[in-house]
Each structure stands twice: as C-alpha cells, then as structure tokens.
Chain A
Amino acid sequence: MNRSQHILGSGLVFAVGIWVAWVSYTQAPAEAFLFPRLIASVFVVLAGWTFGKAVLGLSKVGSGISRSMFISMVPGLVVMAVYVFWAAKALGFYTATAIAFFILLSLYDPAPHSEGKTWAKRALITAIFVAVMYGLFAKLLSVYTPREILF
C-alpha cells in the first residue's frame, strides 16, 4: 500500500520532470531555455533516482496517506476547491468566505450537530471573523477584492 503510493507520487514527479525536460529542449529561443535545460537535466536524474527507489520499495521517508485521512480530508478539499476556484470570484470575497467558513466549521467542529446552540456559536464565529477580515482588508488596507453580493 505504502509502496504503491510512493510509486504513484514519485512517478508523477518523474513525469513532470520529463515533461519539463521535453519542453525545455524543444522550445526556442535556445538562449532563453539554457537555464531551464540545466535544471531539467538535474531534475530528471533526481526524479528518476527517487522513482527507481520507490519501485524497488526502498523509499523510507514520508508516510503516505491512509484511507481514513483521505476520507476525512475530501469534504474539506472540495469546499476549498469550490471556494478558491469559483466562489471567491463569483460570489465576492466576503460572501464566499462567510459561506465557506461556516461550512468548514460545520464539517470539522466536533460539537454535536443536533444542538441549536452550537449552530449559533458557529454562525457567531463566522460573523466575527468576516467582520475582522472586512475591517482589516477593505477598510484598513483598502484592498479592492472582487465583490458581487452584499459587500
């Protein structure tokens, strides 16, 4: 299990290395790609070495990802991806942050989901946090973030 994960991980890195080398050696102008070529060569050698070790089962460092970790992580990862790659821009930073924050809290807060009080507490924490972010970024630093809904 661990060995196959290591093979997958280092295999991907090796593949990226080969792609980088291929791009560096085929693109023009050669002058601009001199440095990438140098890097890519070392990259491929090191990635190949790591991949070879993983195939032989000699990779010791790094513990991989267990099934339970992965299952706990997926909901958060999905919320994060939707938040970062879609909601932040489409709904506006503050609205998206409020929603994502609240969902993440509901997903990972160990307090029971059946009690109304814990829901209120989560909503309160979300409201305070978004207010602080708004004060800091919008008012104090006047960073103009995408705003679609509300503020």
Chain B
Amino acid sequence: MDFIFYFGDVFSPLSFLLLLGGTIGGLILGATPGLSPTMAVALLIPFTFHLEAVQGLILLGAAYTSTVAGGAVSAILLKIPGAPANIATTLDGHKMAKQGQGAKALQLSFLASAVGGIFGVLLLIFLTPVLAQWALAFGPSHLFWLAILGVTVIGSLDSASVVKGLLSGCIGLWLATIGFDDIMGAQRFIFHPSLGGGINIIAALIGLFAIPQVLTMFAKGRRAQGAEVIEVQKHSVLDATKELLRRPRALGIGTITGSIIGLIPGVGGQIAGLVAYDQTKKFSSEKEKFGQGHSEGVIAAESANNAMVGPSLVPLLTLSIPGSPTAAVLLGGLLIHGIFPGSDLFDNHPDVAWTFINSMLVGQVLMCLFGLYVAGLAARVAQVPQSVMAAIVLALSVFGAYSVQSSMGDVYVMACLGIGMYFLERFGFSAAPLVLGLILGPIAESNFIQGGMIADATVGKASYFLSGGLNIFLIAVVVASIAYSAWMELRTRRHTTKEEAQA
C-alpha cells in the first residue's frame, strides 16, 4: 500500500502543473500524425534535464499515458493511426466518424482508455513481482509462436475475402523484409536508396491508411455536397458512459488482453490493440457489425492499448530491462537523474517510483477528462468540407512521415505505399492485414533465427520450438484460432448460399 502514501506528492502545485502540462501536451502530440508515443516521450526528455527526478518522471509518465490515448483522435477523425497501437481503432472508429458519430467514438475511446489504463496501472502496482516472471517467461520460441498467432488474426480481420486478406498479409510480410536484414546485415530488396533503412512502420501506417482516404475524396470530384458528414450528432458523456457499461464484454476482453500482451517485451504494445479487437469480434454476438462502425470495436481496441501502458513498464521497473521502445526512453529519463530501475528504485527512491506510478494513475483520469472535452470540439472536424479535408490529410501525412526520422525517403515510401494501397483496396485487398504482416514479420523472423541458433547449439530446433508448456499452449491457441476462422468462414458461406438460393 506504499503507493497511497506518496499520493500527496502528485498533488503538490508544481507536480500537478507538470501533470496537467504532460497530459495536455501528450494529447496534442499523440494526435499529431507521425509522432508515436516513443517519440513524444523522447521529445520531452530535454525538459526533464531541468527538473527534479520526481517531477521529470511525472511529466514523462503523464505524457506516455496521454499520447497513447491521443493517437485515437487522428485515428478516428482522419483515419491516420498515430502508432501501431491505434490501428484497430481506425477500423470502426473512422467508420463511426463518417456516420456522424465522431463525438461518440471519441468519448467511448477516452472512457475505454481510462478504464483500461487504470486497470493496467493497478496491475503494475499490485502484481509487479508476479508479472515480472511472466514477462521473462517469453523466450525466442514463444515470441515466434506469438507472432504466428498474430498472423492467424489476419484471416478474420479482413471480412471480405479470406484469400485476399492472407495475400495482403503476405505483401506486408514481404515489405517488412525490405532493407538490411537485422541479424546478418545482408541487403534485401533495396531497389531504391530510400529503402535503405527498410520501411519505417510509422510512415507506412500513415501512407497505408491516410493516402487511400485522400484519393477516395479526390475520386468523388467537385460535388456540391462537399462535406464528408452533413450533420455531427451531439452525444452526451452520460450516454457514452452508459454505452460503455452496456459493452462489458468488449471492455473486459480489451482490458485483459491488453494488460497480458502488453507485458511481453518487444511485442506487446504493437499488437495488443489488434489482438483484443480480434478476440472481441470472435466472442461478440454482433460479429457482422465489426468494421461497419461498431462501438465494441473502438472500446476493445482503446481499452487494450491503454491497459498495456502499465504492464509494459514492469520489466523496466523491476528488472531494469526496457520491454518497449517507450520504456527504453523512460529508462533514459531515470538514468539522467542517477536512478537505476530495479530494486534500487523501490528501495532507495520509493518517492520517485511511487510518485511516477501514481502520476500515471492520475494522468489516466485527467487524460479522460480532457479527452472528453476535446471530443466535443474535435468531432466537428468531420464537418470540414471534403476538399479541405483531403488537402489537410495529405499535408499532415507528408509532415508526419517526414518527422518520424527527418527523412524524405520516408515521405516517398509513405506516398508510394499509399497510392498502391488505394488501388489494391479497389480490388478487395485491405490495409489492416497488410500492416499486421509488416509489424509481425520482423518479430517472427528474428525470433525464429535467434531461437534457431540457440536450438542448434543446445537441444535442436524441433524440441526447442515444439516442447515446453508455454510453446504447446501457444501452438494450441494458434490451431484453435485457425480452426475457428475456417469454421466461421464455412458457416457464413453456407448462410450466403442459402440466402442466394432463397432470393
């Protein structure tokens, strides 16, 4: 119960001011395309040079919390996911915004984020030692199977055609291999100098989601009916809360999946949202509504990606291993003040450790309050005429892709992928499985190679990858996931043929 003792520190005037600043700044940074939470936190590190350790961490903790949630704003309103965590949010969130329910989608996403986020931080507070063991349990073979599990999600993400969904996934897996091979250092598929660094995931996300959007607006031409949405429906926060409470399954699955997967070093943050979305869809009674602007999709995705925030710091705080890029940046923020995460942190600097954790807890609440306020204003974005919207999204994409690593190459890659994706979409391919392939490819490959090397030196590949409780469990889940998708596919196919016969 140490954490309650240090709650006072969060509310000292300067700390609270920083907390507010971090939260509001984080929301803005998170909503800016091209700025992932990692970069947002890295941008704030120089400010912490001038602050005390505790205050610096309050700023960083608040910013981390709210950038993850802020990514939902651009994902929902502009269909530009700010980070891999927000991909799943775009699927239903942007559809809702197009239907005039932007305010509702944003309110739900912030409420769900807060619920997930608070749960995640509470896990961090109470279960840290247990969770640390869990985080370490995942070796190369397990991460490999986890990536394969992610690949099986591809089939069900794309509702239109399973073959085209898988093919999109393959294209994504291939795109991920472009550039230097990470372990051997061999050059692969570098047919243009811009690809020398491989395809940057953030730039690719912007291109794949935002540019087809721009081209679709262009294709509509000069119409008198300019606005994307003629009417923005007002939506009260109370209604949003009720809606959230009516969807306990989406919220529960999202929160729990997010916190469990978020723990796993190196993998968690990127796929938590998508896996939660997929699981919620599988267990939902209204499967067919997913992808059409269904509130459960937004709730699951957003509760998962904020639930991951707390647990993702467990390996850092207990074992001094940064489990995610953002955690690595936070490690820098600690080290600058001479504080080493691990037992040193909790034993010798409990004020820092607990104030930091508390600030994330309070930050979740503040983030939610500000987010709800912003939701009402921001949803008007949908009222912008589509000619203006197309130009805004295009310019934001260019700036966003550039600012990832100050590289024109990324802008070119972003535009090429985006234009290609538009045409692919017209032929029934979709962006989500492609992006999933892009994210999972490197995880699967590097863990397979690394695991293979360990296996060759020790027990052999077969027993390394196929034995052990966790391996078998993961393989079983993979098999179950494939079987379930196949069964659902067959069932819907039979349904449609029956309907066609009746018609």
A-to-B contact residues, CB < 8 Å: 5-6, 9-10, 13, 16-17, 20, 23, 27, 29, 31-36, 39-40, 42-43, 46-47, 49-50, 59-65, 68-73, 75-77, 80-81, 83-85, 88-89, 93, 97, 100-101, 104-105, 107-110, 125, 129, 133, 136-137, 140-141, 143-146
Pairwise interchain contact A100-B163, C-beta atoms closer than 8 A: no
Residues of B within 8 A of A144 (CB): 406
Please, how many angstroms separate the alpha-carbon atoms of A89 and B218 in the complex? Answer: 24
Pairwise interchain contact A136-B32, C-beta atoms closer than 8 A: yes
Residues of B within 8 A of A17 (CB): 170
A to B CB contacts below 8 Å, 17 in the list: A6-B427, A36-B174, A42-B170, A50-B167, A65-B219, A65-B423, A73-B218, A85-B415, A101-B395, A104-B391, A108-B387, A109-B387, A110-B224, A136-B32, A137-B399, A143-B402, A146-B408
Please, how many angstroms separate the alpha-carbon atoms of A105 and B392 in the complex? Answer: 10
Residues of A within 8 A of B429 (CB): 62
Give the interface SS of chain B, mostly helix, strand, loop or mixed: helix
Residues of A within 8 A of B351 (CB): none
Do A76 and B411 form a contact, CB below 8 Å, given A32-B184, A108-B218?
A: no
CB distance from A14 to the nearest CB of B (A): 10
**What residue in chain B is nearest A16 (Cβ atoms)?**
B171
B-to-A contact residues, CB < 8 Å: 28-29, 32, 35, 43, 160-161, 163-164, 166-167, 170-171, 173-174, 177, 181, 184, 186, 188-189, 214-215, 217-226, 385-388, 390-392, 394-396, 398-399, 402-403, 406, 408, 411-412, 415, 419, 423-429, 441, 444-445, 448-449
Pairwise interchain contact A105-B387, C-beta atoms closer than 8 A: yes
Residues of B within 8 A of A101 (CB): 391, 395
Pairwise interchain contact B163-A84, C-beta atoms closer than 8 A: no
20 A-B pairs besides A10-B427, A65-B423, A76-B390 with CB distance below 8 A are A9-B427, A13-B167, A23-B189, A40-B174, A43-B174, A47-B170, A59-B427, A62-B164, A62-B428, A62-B429, A77-B215, A84-B398, A85-B415, A88-B408, A89-B408, A93-B399, A105-B388, A109-B385, A109-B387, A143-B399
Tell me which of A27, A88, A136, A140 contacts B188 (CB under 8 A): A27
